[in-house]
Chain A
């Protein structure tokens, strides 16, 4: 596989469930990102990892927990979510965290919280 892949593509979960989103990049990049896109709102950056270290957390609630075990994989662990967390969650990667590096996006996970 090439590029940035995300699984699952669609996820429906209850407020008491625990689930995880997975992102994998095959580009040899060192920076990975989680974004949230809610309906009719701009893309919101959630977390940034650079060389496996978390470098940014943009005031994301603790019910979202990222994990980056290596430069190729990024997870977003979800627990006790709220219906307003329903959104498209996009993963991206770039060569390094330098914002002038092009970011390559995955197709996203469409999350619905009931």
Chain B
């Protein structure tokens, strides 16, 4: 049973608009969440994280929202840029172990 799910395998957004990437989890014991971005032929790179005691964390164009009651987190990118086109993974941490989602491929069109 997959504990971390990214239900949208792909997302296409126009440049300048907002990109919203979603992630759902089932384990209420997760206490830390991270987002990674991955370009083809490269390893994932860390983007932004959030502790379970917070509901929002912002870093420049990237904001992560956490809704613990819904077991849902989202990554907002605004404004979206063509260079943001990549695969985005969410990860959830419990007892020191990270569980990753399948990833969502974001395409930002010029």
Contacts and interface: CB of A to CB of B under 8 A. Distances in A.
Contacts of B42: 105, 107-108
A4 B43 contact: yes
A110 B54 CA distance: 37
A42 interface: yes
Contacts of A105: 36, 42-45
A46 interface: no
Contact of B49 (A42, A58, A91, A100): A100
Which residue, A4, A43, A103, has most C-beta atoms of chain B within 10 A? A43
A4 B43 CA distance: 9
Q: Is the interface of B mostly helix, strand, loop or mixed?
A: strand
Interface residues of A, number: 24
Nearest to B89: A43
B60 interface: no
22 contacts: A40-B102, A41-B102, A42-B2, A42-B4, A42-B89, A42-B100, A42-B101, A43-B91, A43-B100, A44-B100, A45-B97, A92-B43, A99-B96, A99-B97, A99-B98, A100-B32, A100-B49, A100-B93, A103-B46, A104-B45, A105-B43, A106-B43
